[in-house]
Structure 1
Amino acid sequence: MTCTKLNLIKNNPKNSVHSTVVIGGGPAGLTAAYQLAKHGLKSVVLEKADKVGGIARTETYKGYRFDIGGHRFFTKVPEVQHLWQEVLGNDFIKVPRLSRIYYNKKFFSYPLEPLNALNNLGMIGSLRIMSSYLKIKLRPLPEEKNFEQWVTNRFGERLYQTFFKSYTEKVWGIPCTQIQADWAAQRIKGLSLKKAIINAFFGSNDTKTLIKEFDYPILGPGMMWERFEEKLNQKGSPVYLNTEVIKIEREDKRIKRILVQQEGKNFSIEGDNFISSMPISALIHRLDPLPPEAVLRAARSLKYRDFLIVALIIDQKHLFPDNWIYIHSPEFKVGRIQNFKNWSPAMVPDANKTCLGMEYFCSKGDQLWELSEKELIALASREVVNLGLVDSIDKVKDGTVIRQLKAYPVYDAEYTQHLAVLQDYLDSFENLQTIGRNGMHRYNNQDHSMLAGLLAAENIMGAKHDLWKVNTERSYQEEFVVKQSKTKTLTLASTK
């Protein structure tokens, strides 16, 4: 890595011209560069952080490896599945999926298990949920503009109040009535109460949320993106870390060059094509000359939700069997708890210990974000004990904190109109494409982001894909079929 960085400065003292410049070394950017390299087209990837992977990276602390949130490797897009196997191959392991919901001092199995739910809710509570469900089926809400309306129409008001409302508002920090229905349509992925009950009794399941097993890199998701990085460097399409884009120079509707800062030195890079996965709001403000004020105003209006994870090292061999647990009870600040040993035992160097990831959803500048690392570790330690997941606070032996800005693009009541302004403006550029979760301000999974990267690369090779159609339908992305055409380009076709 060090050699690569020094070569960038040495070989690019003033201007360097590349066929394609990729801004961002997350799943989207790395996939785009890799797809180009497979077709003999070289690129350069610029990553601001000290490692690749974006929010799908794997962090390390004293030999303990942990995700920035858990990342399952499951997709119904054949091209993405093929890439995963091509790049990582035998370094995948099969992981059984097990998760639960903590609510009102009880643990609910997820997916739904009727006897467990009945026991936790009681006969009266269960009957009320079913009654509420039947009521909404007979008389559904006339519109589904926000999250509350969308979920209520599918599950009934009582189940929405019990399992969806408190957790969702913890994640986003705003009322469910201010969250657009688009987010529910993408994240709940076609699940209904009827389908969940059928799955619970008969084992039938074609819903991504309810898969029972998934692939996982033995050393965490970052292993995948580090392998992409290695292959790109070998193919002559280098990945440069600790490299920040500070200005993007344009002439009319073409990007001409970008100004980059690395190790305190500035240099410019010219390119024929540009692919960006940096936050779309930041991209707009890096343009020189700046766009019209209406475009800048739209960029300023987009909102993000930040995230931090407190990794706790627990002096106990086994704690609980789940991969992760959702904490719906509002009296706890933690939103989700990962047990990384249950994702892969190789993530934990000491077999007699366990590493938990206590995930907190917050915003930069708020009270939670501003807590010191010591205060956050103390908070996470208290909460994991009060949840009954660890016997004693004395068993918490160490911990560390990772903060992640702009982890989640917010789907508030106004985001669609602001994003439309930015989309229209950026679509006018001849040699610029935006991809990825933040590059498109869209709540993409890594397979969505990789698909956008593949399509962006094919656009450079002559295709005409509309990237903004990836992950926009009211049904989840796997309801698109990706086919290989005679011209060896990907095409999207709705199955509906």
Structure 2
Amino acid sequence: MHVETLIIGAGPAGLTTAYELTKAGRSVAMVERDTFYVGGISRTVNYKGYRFDIGGHRFFSKSAEVEAWWTEIMGDEMLQRPRSSRIYYNSKLFDYPLRAGDALSKLGPVEALRCVLSYGWAQLRPYKNVVSFEQWVVNNFGRRLFQIFFKTYTEKVWGMDCNDISADWAAQRIKGLNLYQAIIQSFGLGKPKAHDDVIKTLINSFRYPRLGPGQMWERTRDKIVAQGGKVMMGSTVTTISQHHGTGQWVAIVTDAHGKETKVTADHVVSTAAINELVKMLGADNDAAVAAASKGLRYRDFLIIGLITRGKESFDDNWIYIHDPSVKVGRIQNFKSWSPDMVPDPDTACYGMEYFCNAGDDTWDMADADLIARAKFEIGKLGLANPDDIVDASVVRQPKAYPVYDDTYKINVDTITEGLAEQFKNMHLAGRNGMHKYNNQDHAMMTGILTAKNIIAGTEAHDVWTVNEDAEYHEGGQAGADKIEERLVPRRIA
């Protein structure tokens, strides 16, 4: 088989690239290791008709092009959904973002006063040289609020102590959650913010495919095939090389049954994890590239879907669990994403999210033990009765979040420079393909720009500049033609 472009990985970036290319009449072959699902971490798993969104995906973008793309694919199957999230702390659910009245009534006057005094102490004795997440939050909100609303969840997600995380992430990520304004002003203290300064961190509504994000990516796959593209499911690229004389790529693609197909291509687009690509290409024969590849780290993730009898106990899209006595980090309510995610209206379906590292105790735990833990923890939190849980399923997602530690950028630069020296017409796109913790629309934009470059035969569009403006993703207006990055915590050097 010969195609103009071979695409490795059928996640948002790969599928977007393939769709744009086939729409322009270009020939494409896409290789996806999963036998059943496309969409990567944006896939929707179907378990007995119950649909699990892996991680939760709100469809909201400042890119008008991406917003139009979603409409083109989904049409009226794209729903408008209300945004609702809360924080679980001390057996209570707090509105997110916090409202002064709600927070005060649930914290109680004694705890609220402790927060005020803690903030006052932080103003009198601030950290002078702020380098860590913990120091930044304590300076801005006081230690008590840091311990209540920031420490536990952050450490669950990233597997790092808050004092090891760089302050720059806090400065971007938390700038809109001004707990000082919410609580301190309730005592008549502090200066109110001007109307124009009120943070717009959180959108009030978002779009969402009726059957989950996987519905959109499955439609995209089908449109790619209808436009002449080839999608090879349950397959992996076992070897790949480039003829240095002609520049033609030669790949051996092996399916689940061991059948091999030789694919030649003029261009290769890789959305696979960048360290996997290095091994695939044999580029680890370069000592510097090999060392850089080994230095890239990831945070993994699993979700346990719990199906219960009766009406759901909360109507949030998800709840952040700020309780150190349980391992679960966040709980989704799939019916709140879309009622059609749950086939029986007399049942509810929750997603218990656990952040972990492949090979640790949580990741390696047997499914039955994970389900038992999830049942126990949701019962302990009082968010569902374990006796009402009638079924459950476990979904693991390796390499969910690229980790930005103190050496990641040097490692990525070393790898990309090494690949550029050895190969031509090699394009990297997407979250893992570029080792950039981007949102779904960011990943899509890298795919759109990659397709434009291939069609034009130039490198006019630099995919690495997508996301460089670091503002919180869900601020502002949809379709505002500016696509921005959500930063990722970096470990302090």
Q: Does 1:438 align with 2:429?
A: no
**What is the CA–CA distance in structure 1 between the aligned matches of 2:90 and 2:252, rounded to whole Å?**
53
Corresponding residue for residue 375 of structure 2: 381
CA deviations 1:39-61 (Å, max 9, x no partner) are: 22221111111210000000011
* Residue number among 335, 349, 364 corresponding to 2:343 in the alignment: 349
Q: Does 1:236 align with 2:216?
A: no
**What is the CA–CA distance in structure 1 between the aligned matches of 2:259 and 2:217, rounded to whole Å?**
27
Corresponding residue for residue 331 of structure 1: 325
* Residue number among 258, 261, 273 corresponding to 2:254 in the alignment: 261
Corresponding residue for residue 491 of structure 2: none
> Aligned letter for 2:287?
E
Q: Structure 1 residues 400 and 455, CA, compared in 2 at 3 Å: closer, same or farther?
A: same
Q: Does 1:23 align with 2:8?
A: yes
CA deviations 1:259-316 (Å, max 9, x no partner) are: 2211212232221111111001111111135441111111111111111111111011
SS at match of 1:459: helix
Unaligned residue ranges in structure 2 (runs of 5+): 186-191, 486-493
Alignment of 1:50-69 (within 5 A): 50=35, 51-69=37-55
* Residue number among 466, 475, 487 corresponding to 2:471 in the alignment: 475
367-376 or 172-181, which moves further after superposition? 172-181
Q: Does 1:246 align with 2:215?
A: no
**What is the CA–CA distance in structure 2 between the aligned matches of 1:127 and 1:82, rounded to whole Å?**
49
Does structure 2 retain, via aligned residues, the 8 Å contact 1:281–1:299?
yes
Q: How far 1:161 moved relative to its partner? A: 2.6
Does structure 2 retain, via aligned residues, the 8 Å contact 1:23–1:276?
yes
**What is the CA–CA distance in structure 1 between the aligned matches of 2:151 and 2:484, rounded to whole Å?**
34
TM-score by length of 1: 0.86
Q: Structure 1 residues 388 and 255, CA, compared in 2 at 3 Å: closer, same or farther?
A: farther
Q: How far 1:172 moved relative to its partner? A: 1.8
Does structure 2 retain, via aligned residues, the 8 Å contact 1:44–1:238?
yes
Does structure 1 retain, via aligned residues, the 8 Å contact 2:62–2:482?
no
Q: Does 1:169 align with 2:149?
A: no
Does structure 2 retain, via aligned residues, the 8 Å contact 1:146–1:178?
yes
66-75 or 118-127, which moves further after superposition? 118-127
Corresponding residue for residue 392 of structure 2: 399
Does structure 2 retain, via aligned residues, the 8 Å contact 1:219–1:346?
yes
Does structure 1 retain, via aligned residues, the 8 Å contact 2:310–2:346?
yes
Corresponding residue for residue 215 of structure 1: 207
Q: Structure 1 residues 448 and 141, CA, compared in 2 at 3 Å: closer, same or farther?
A: farther
Corresponding residue for residue 5 of structure 1: none
Alignment of 1:33-72 (within 5 A): 33-50=18-35, 51-72=37-58
Does structure 2 retain, via aligned residues, the 8 Å contact 1:98–1:323?
yes
> Aligned letter for 2:349?
C
Count of residues in correspondence between the two structures: 471
* Residue number among 300, 303, 310 corresponding to 1:316 in the alignment: 310
**What is the CA–CA distance in structure 1 between the aligned matches of 2:428 and 2:211, rounded to whole Å?**
30
Q: Structure 1 residues 250 and 385, CA, compared in 2 at 3 Å: closer, same or farther?
A: same
**What is the CA–CA distance in structure 2 between the aligned matches of 1:94 and 1:17, rounded to whole Å?**
42
**What is the CA–CA distance in structure 2 between the aligned matches of 1:178 and 1:450, rounded to whole Å?**
31
> Aligned letter for 2:400?
A
**What is the CA–CA distance in structure 2 between the aligned matches of 1:268 and 1:182, rounded to whole Å?**
47
Does structure 2 retain, via aligned residues, the 8 Å contact 1:250–1:287?
no
**What is the CA–CA distance in structure 2 between the aligned matches of 1:209 and 1:482, rounded to whole Å?**
13
**What is the CA–CA distance in structure 1 between the aligned matches of 2:237 and 2:353, rounded to whole Å?**
29
Once the two structures are aligned, what percentage of the paired residues are identical? Answer: 46
> Aligned letter for 1:101?
I
Q: How far 1:255 moved relative to its partner? A: 6.7
Q: How far 1:119 moved relative to its partner? A: 1.7
Over aligned residues, Cα RMSD in angstroms?
3.1
Q: How far 1:174 moved relative to its partner? A: 2.0
Q: How far 1:148 moved relative to its partner? A: 3.1
Q: Structure 1 residues 373 and 479, CA, compared in 2 at 3 Å: closer, same or farther?
A: closer
Does structure 2 retain, via aligned residues, the 8 Å contact 1:65–1:220?
yes
* Residue number among 273, 278, 287 corresponding to 2:267 in the alignment: 273
SS at match of 2:431: coil
> Aligned letter for 2:163?
T
**What is the CA–CA distance in structure 2 between the aligned matches of 1:20 and 1:201, rounded to whole Å?**
53
Q: Structure 1 residues 374 and 58, CA, compared in 2 at 3 Å: closer, same or farther?
A: same
Unaligned residue ranges in structure 1 (runs of 5+): 1-15, 485-489
TM-score by length of 2: 0.87
CA deviations 1:334-391 (Å, max 9, x no partner) are: 111001011111111111000111111111221111221111111111111111111x
Q: How far 1:202 moved relative to its partner? A: 10
Corresponding residue for residue 464 of structure 1: 460
Does structure 2 retain, via aligned residues, the 8 Å contact 1:180–1:411?
no
SS at match of 2:415: helix
Q: Does 1:121 align with 2:121?
A: no
Corresponding residue for residue 278 of structure 2: 284
Does structure 2 retain, via aligned residues, the 8 Å contact 1:79–1:482?
no
Q: Structure 1 residues 313 and 295, CA, compared in 2 at 3 Å: closer, same or farther?
A: same
290-299 or 90-99, which moves further after superposition? 290-299
**What is the CA–CA distance in structure 1 between the aligned matches of 2:482 and 2:206, rounded to whole Å?**
26
Does structure 2 retain, via aligned residues, the 8 Å contact 1:373–1:401?
yes
**What is the CA–CA distance in structure 2 between the aligned matches of 1:175 and 1:56, rounded to whole Å?**
28
> Aligned letter for 1:421?
T
Q: Structure 1 residues 215 and 195, CA, compared in 2 at 3 Å: closer, same or farther?
A: farther
**What is the CA–CA distance in structure 1 between the aligned matches of 2:68 and 2:60, rounded to whole Å?**
11
Corresponding residue for residue 413 of structure 1: 406
